[in-house]
Structure 1
């Protein structure tokens, strides 16, 4: 069952924020952090992307209540970055983005590092030796 946050009622009606909105905000905020190579959507998410569907909520799970949200982020870090620092920056960025955009209080941002990506160095071709004319 999908829960929709019904966190505010005004004289004109209710304001509802779907969990998918929180997922997209989380995914974008996490991807902004230096050192994040990719979000990890698992097998199904990766197939969907190969079929041309851009999934901005890839690698994100959320639980949304009336006034609070908890999120789990699954991602791949670039080799060479300090994982604890990257994870803390993700937690801060995600919390700030969700709280500023939705007004929900973020009670947890759990960061799951599932892999490390090694950047392959470009193979440099040996410089061509000029041909001498004799």
Structure 2
């Protein structure tokens, strides 16, 4: 006869889920970086220690919803890159946390033409 022992509640912080999602996003082919948001019409490309930027999450006890703002590489098929991105982020978060990811929403905020240049639209270039 086995006894169940309740050890307590496990809660995973939003920051942990954001970090996992951001790292998985940056590892996705075709993603140039995360976007820090549109400020005065300009996208700011973030990478490295800023992986939580460009990621918004809502985490419950069993589920998570994730919103990503990204910059894609010029020449990439945006639809394909975003589908891969959604799958990679979902798998990473679910495998590492045990949470069920109910949605991964992606907003493409810019296109990277070169290593140091991001185009939001014809009128705005960021170097």
Q: Give TM-score, length-normalised by structure 2.
A: 0.76
The equivalent residue for 1:64 is 59
SS of the aligned residue for 1:40 comes to: strand
Q: Any residues of structure 2 matched to 1:43-58 within 5 Å, and which? A: 54-58=49-53
For residue 113 of structure 2, the aligned residue among 112, 118, 121 is 118
Aligned positions, number:
104
Contact 2:33 2:71 in 1 (8 A): yes
User: How many angstroms apart in 2 are the aligned matches of 1:27 and 1:55?
Assistant: 9
List alignment gaps of at least 5 residues for structure 1: 1-9, 121-134
Q: Give TM-score, length-normalised by structure 1.
A: 0.72
More strand by share: 2
- 1:12 Cα deviation (Å)? 2.4
For residue 94 of structure 2, the aligned residue among 99, 102, 117 is 99
For residue 34 of structure 2, the aligned residue among 22, 36, 39 is 39
List alignment gaps of at least 5 residues for structure 2: 116-127
SS of the aligned residue for 1:14 comes to: coil
Measured against aligned partners, the alpha-carbon deviations of 1:66-93 in whole angstroms (never above 9, x if no partner) come to 2110000001000000000000000000
CA RMSD of aligned residues (A): 1.8
Task: State the 4+ residue runs in structure 1 displaced beyond 3 angstroms.
Answer: none
Larger radius of gyration: 1
